[in-house]
Amino acid sequence: MKIFTRRDFGITLGKGIAASTLLGGTSLACGQNTKALDKKLGIALVGLGSYSTYQLAPSLQDTEHCYLAGIVTGTREKEKIWQEKYGIPEENTYNYENFDNIANNETIDIVYVVLPNSMHADFSIRAAKAGKHVICEKPMAINVAECEAIIDACDKAGVKLSVGYRMQSDPYTKEVKKYVTEKTFGDVHFVSSDAGYISNGNPDQWRLNKELSGGGALMNMGVYSIQTSIYGCGSNPSSVSAQEFSTRPDYFKDTDETITAQFEFPNGAVGHMMTSHNANGNRLKSHCSKGWFELDPAHSYGPISGRTSNGNVISFPHQTQQALQMDDFAKHILMGTPNVAPGEMGKRDMIIVEAIYKSIAQGGKKQLLNLGNMGIVS
């Protein structure tokens, strides 16, 4: 009889086989869903920069279904600091070179890649090959081919894959998705979305280096505008036309500064998005046949804020988005609940990113998109 390890368990679920059939009689048997939820999945963060330090690691202190089990860092000094702060054992501490040995570590179930964008594909694929479930930060990669390679590696390894789209777990996002599907304000006719900030930092930062970032504002913040446009309208766009604006070429030498784009949607709705590293923007507004709804701020760590044309304020108690996001993924692995930010969603957004860059290169020419329902999660 095969003895099922923690890793087999995750992979087996990843292949969609009922865990209760395979694991009956073991301590991980989840004939009842509650049993599976008793288990907390171990997450290893890869890259201990600002997002891991100030958002993900603190959020992992609040998660119910996963916990911070390991770290992967290229900076030796960070190892001791993190080990002491979060009680991480030496054997769960890796660097970029010995990272692949994580395959032998059964206390790590999920690898969360939080590196500069151009490193996402390499580490996500290595994590999948090590038999670990993968969370890959946004943007999923720097081009569509890399997104496909990540999805393929996870499929082949039978592991689950999610993109670090924290907004997909946010209650405000879920509420506006509900307005769209239930047509609370009628049909959406126009959606407008902005996501940007004014970058004044170190000109040598990786976000301004195309080789490491894959692009500027569009890669970094534009994926939020794309996401918001889609859930603010309820479907993928059927075309996009885009323009780029540069006012500080001395600072933005290598990457895009401000981009605007217009979408057409299959149901006749149209949309406009703006993303920038030189203008603040953090908003979604959907104008519908019988009113409107708005989130402003729409993409920040929260609290998010929203209003509707019937005078209501959209309001939920503040919850940490990153904790909700990582718990959603853990529940997806443990319980088979929906993956709210699957790899297909990250790939779809990268198809749109590439179409936007192509439109700009062709002087704003409309690019047709044939996305169907790719990446749409209700």
Q: How many helices (H) and strands (E) does the chain have?
A: 14, 15
Closest approach of ligand NAD to the CB of residue 276, in Å: 16
Residues 336-375, interacting with ligand NAD (CB under 6 A): none
Query: Where are the alpha helices (H) located in the chain, listed in sequence order?
Result: 6-14, 19-23, 33-38, 50-51, 57-59, 76-86, 120-129, 144-157, 171-182, 210-213, 217, 223-233, 321-335, 343-361
**Identified binder of ligand NAD from the candidate list 103, 212, 376, 377, rule CB under 6 A:** 212
Per DSSP, what are the bridge partners of residue 342?
162
Closest CB to ligand NAD among residues 14, 116: 116
Closest CB to ligand NAD among residues 299, 332: 299
Closest approach of ligand NAD to the CB of residue 135, in Å: 10
Closest CB to ligand NAD among residues 190, 206: 206
**Identified binder of ligand NAD from the candidate list 206, 243, 270, 366, rule CB under 6 A:** 206
Contact flag: residue 246 with ligand NAD (CB under 6 A)? no
Q: Which strands sit side by side in the sheet containing 66-72, from one edge to the other?
A: 93-94, 66-72, 41-46, 110-113, 133-136, 161-163
Contact flag: residue 58 with ligand NAD (CB under 6 A)? no
Pairing of strands 367-368, 239-245: antiparallel
Angle at 303 between CA 298 and CA 352, to 5 degrees: 25
Question: How far is 9 from 32, CA to CA, in rounded Å?
Answer: 15
Contact flag: residue 214 with ligand NAD (CB under 6 A)? no
**Identified binder of ligand NAD from the candidate list 8, 137, 146, 175, rule CB under 6 A:** 137
**Identified binder of ligand NAD from the candidate list 43, 48, 269, 323, rule CB under 6 A:** 48
**Identified binder of ligand NAD from the candidate list 115, 150, 180, 242, rule CB under 6 A:** 115
Q: Which residue is nearest to ligand NAD (CB)?
A: 49
- Among candidate residues 39, 132, 138, 331, the one labeled active-site is 138
Span of 45-53, 191-199, 302-310, 336-344 interacting with ligand NAD by CB under 6 A: 45-53
* Residue carrying structure tokens 């019937």: 310
Q: Which strands sit side by side in the sheet containing 278-288, from one edge to the other?
A: 313-314, 306-308, 291-295, 278-288, 188-198, 270-276, 258-264, 239-245, 367-368
Contact flag: residue 30 with ligand NAD (CB under 6 A)? no
Closest CB to ligand NAD among residues 28, 56: 56
- Contact 191/176 with Cβ under 8 angstroms? no
Closest CB to ligand NAD among residues 208, 288: 208
Handedness of CA 207, 213, 216, 217 (dihedral sign): negative
- Picking from 134, 146, 181, 184, the residue whose alpha carbon sits closest to that of residue 14 is 134
Closest approach of ligand NAD to the CB of residue 137, in Å: 4
Contact flag: residue 176 with ligand NAD (CB under 6 A)? no
- Contact 194/282 with Cβ under 8 angstroms? yes
Closest CB to ligand NAD among residues 138, 277: 138
- Among candidate residues 224, 231, 331, 357, the one labeled active-site is 224
With CB under 6 A, what is the number of residues at the site for ligand NAD? 19
366 catalytic per annotation: no
Contact flag: residue 222 with ligand NAD (CB under 6 A)? no
- Contact 275/218 with Cβ under 8 angstroms? yes
224 catalytic per annotation: yes
**Identified binder of ligand NAD from the candidate list 42, 116, 131, 306, rule CB under 6 A:** 116
Question: How far is 82 from 77, CA to CA, in rounded Å?
Answer: 9
Contact flag: residue 277 with ligand NAD (CB under 6 A)? no
DSSP string, 349-368: HHHHHHHHHHHHHTTS--EE
Contact flag: residue 216 with ligand NAD (CB under 6 A)? no
The residues of the shown chain that bind ligand NAD, judged by CB under 6 A, are 47-52, 74-75, 114-117, 137-138, 164, 166, 206, 212, 220
Catalytic machinery residues:
138, 224
